[in-house]
Amino acid sequence: MPDANGRGDVVLDVEDLRAYFFTRWGVVKAVDGVSFQLRRGETLGIVGESGSGKSVTSLSMMRLVPSPPGQIVGGRVMLDGEDVLRYSEGQMEKIRGAKIAMVLQDPMTALNPVFNIDSQVGEALRIHKRLSGSALKSQVVDMLRKVRIPAPEARVRDYPHQFSGGMRQRVVGAIGISCDPVVLIADEPTTSLDATVQAQYLRLLKDLQDETGVAIIFITHDFGIVAKMCDRVAVMYAGRIVEQGDVRQIFNNPSHPYTEALINSVPRMEERNDRLYSIPGQPPPLWDLPGGCSFAPRCEYAHERCVEYPPVYELAGGQTSACWLRSG
Ligand SMILES: Nc1ncnc2c1ncn2[C@@H]1O[C@H](COP(=O)(O)OP(=O)(O)OP(=O)(O)O)[C@@H](O)[C@H]1O
Ligand code: SF4
Ligand SMILES: [Mg+2]
């Protein structure tokens, strides 16, 4: 059922997800009790510094955590009402790249240099939609047209190195949406692109979303991109979501000190010449987390209570915050 704000049905419901790596240094708790929901047509940003567990969260949903040393040790990932953590590998293969798809971080490595664009865009359509021959060919051309590749009929025979970085990125986008996914995960879709190409690509993803209603998870360390692109945001720190809610509400009124610090590190136009604020200190090693709030060593508001890990507080408007300052 759509919610009170007219947003679509819940298509993804992640509950208490835990994914650990069992290494010789100890147990790396890369994802440690992550919960969020995603509705049809909605964009959720997952934001946090490097190593906070964003990619392992998405790999867990796709059931692609490398094992060993990784293992999903708990939780539920309800996709369209079914827990994919209970699926067999055979069932996963049917939905991976189809019902739930992922656009990878780096368009250079996401495309295979030895195959032409035709075979790479066509692969998922061949496997999941069982298309072949001229039907497959015309669908591939259609997908390339959708992601605004000029003269797609001619370009399908080209190889990745014959495309610019921005075009390769769009081809990866075409592969991601080729089988009409319910959920598309875009993991740092913009790092290797310049600002203009990046803006065009993000716009394209939003247009595709308007056309298809696909729910998008946007993974980035840039709160500026989240503010522009997303409806809701989940802020990750050391394997956990520390704050979650409506993007505008959080951007204007962050309730967790880590979110506040992340927002302060977004460059502002008028401060172009100033030195960028960056969060002092380093995230803690995930195999040796301090007791209590993981952000405490870097937090200017830390106090006696923070030696205990804070519970998740529910604030007005559906915002949540895992910080003792919100205890009332
Ligand atoms: N194969 C692995 N073996 C051991 N530890 C791993 C493995 N893959 C990831 N990790 C650890 O899991 C933690 C979370 O990593 P993850 O890749 O999810 O971070 P991230 O938030 O996506 O960072 P980035 O912004 O750099 O992409 C890190 O501490 C990382 O070292
Ligand atoms: S719980 Fe304490 S240390 Fe953690 S973010 Fe809140 S104030 Fe800072
Ligand atoms: Mg990552």
Element (H, E) at 46: strand 43-47
What does the angle CA 150 – CA 152 – CA 158 come to, to the nearest 5 degrees? 105
Q: List, for residues 250-273, the tens digit of each pLDDT value.
A: 999 999 999 999 998 876 655 554
Confirm if 128 and 136 have CB atoms less than 8 A apart.
Answer: no
Q: Is the CB of 295 under 6 A from ligand 2?
A: yes
Q: Take residue 184 and report the two structure tokens written for it.
A: 């598309």
Considering only residues 169 and 181, tell me which one the structure prediction assigns the higher pLDDT: 181
Distance between CA atoms of 234 and 222, rounded to whole angstroms?
12
The pLDDT-based confidence of 315 (bands split at 50, 70, 90) is: very high
The pLDDT-based confidence of 301 (bands split at 50, 70, 90) is: very high
**pLDDT for 273:** 47
Q: List, for residues 104-145, the tens digit of each pLDDT value.
A: 766 667 788 999 999 999 999 999 999 999 999 999 999 999
Confirm if 55 and 31 have CB atoms less than 8 A apart.
Answer: no
Q: How many angstroms separate the first and last alpha carbons of the chain?
A: 33
Indicate if the pLDDT at residue 321 is higher than 70: yes
Q: Is the CB of 324 under 6 A from ligand 2?
A: yes
- Probe target for ligand 1 pocket from 56, 106, 188, 220, with the most ligand atoms within 8 Å of CB: 56
Task: Tell me what the pLDDT averaged over the chain comes to.
Answer: 90
Indicate if the pLDDT at residue 153 is higher than 80: yes
**pLDDT for 107:** 62
Q: Is the CB of 299 under 6 A from ligand 2?
A: yes
Confirm if 328 and 315 have CB atoms less than 8 A apart.
Answer: no
Q: List, for residues 193-220, the tens digit of each pLDDT value.
A: 677 777 788 888 899 999 999 999 999 8
Q: How far is the CA of 53 from the centre of ligand 3 (A)?
A: 7
- Count of alpha carbons within 13 angstroms of residue 64, beta-carbon side: 15
Q: Is the CB of 257 under 6 A from ligand 2?
A: yes
Indicate if the alpha-carbon torsion angle 236, 238, 241, 244 is positive or negative: negative
Distance between CA atoms of 212 and 190, rounded to whole angstroms?
22
> Which of 84-88, 237-241, 263-267 shows the lowest mean pLDDT across its residues?
263-267
How many other CB atoms are found less than 10 A from the CB of residue 174? 26
E strands within 167-247?
A: 183-187, 215-220, 232-237, 240-246
Q: How far is the CA of 104 from the centre of ligand 1 (A)?
A: 15
